Amino acid sequence: MAEWEQVLSVSQQHQSSTGVRVTGHAQKLIYDVLESITADPHPRWRISPTELAGLRRQIESDLSSLLAKIMVDEHVEEVITAFDVLHWLTHNLDNVCPIEK
């Protein structure tokens, strides 16, 4: 499944199972972060393109649990917005990204 379709699918599954919607802007932000892992990697990352692609697939496969964590940690009751994603990432990015800084 293409990455954008996967983000949409996981978002829809999340809404079906929790009743919490993920806004289009939040979906786009999540997609852009995932896309950036392979399309715009940091120059100090000492990791091969193949390893970057694997990392991206790993994070994509964890997307459902990451949305659940965002919902809980950001106290979301109805809608996950792009700002919920950004706020959550400010505290959790190092936990999600295994690449050494």
- pLDDT for 2: 57
Q: Which residues contact 91 (CB under 8 A, 6 or more apart)?
A: 73
- pLDDT for 24: 98
Output the six-digit token pair for 34. Answer: 């995932």
- pLDDT for 99: 76
Q: What is the pLDDT of residues 50-79, one digit of tens each?
A: 998 898 888 889 999 999 999 999 999 999
SS3 helix, strand, coil % of the chain, rounded to 5? 70, 5, 25
| Whole-number percent of the chain with pLDDT over 70 | 96
Output the six-digit token pair for 45. Answer: 């990352």
Read off the pLDDT of each residue in 3-14 and give the average, rounded to a whole number. 95
- Is the pTM here over 0.85, yes or no? yes
pLDDT confidence of 84, banded at 50, 70, 90? very high
Residue with tokens 């999340």: 14
- pLDDT for 1: 53
Per-residue HEC secondary structure of 18-48 comes to HCCEECHHHHHHHHHHHHHHHHCCCCCCCCC
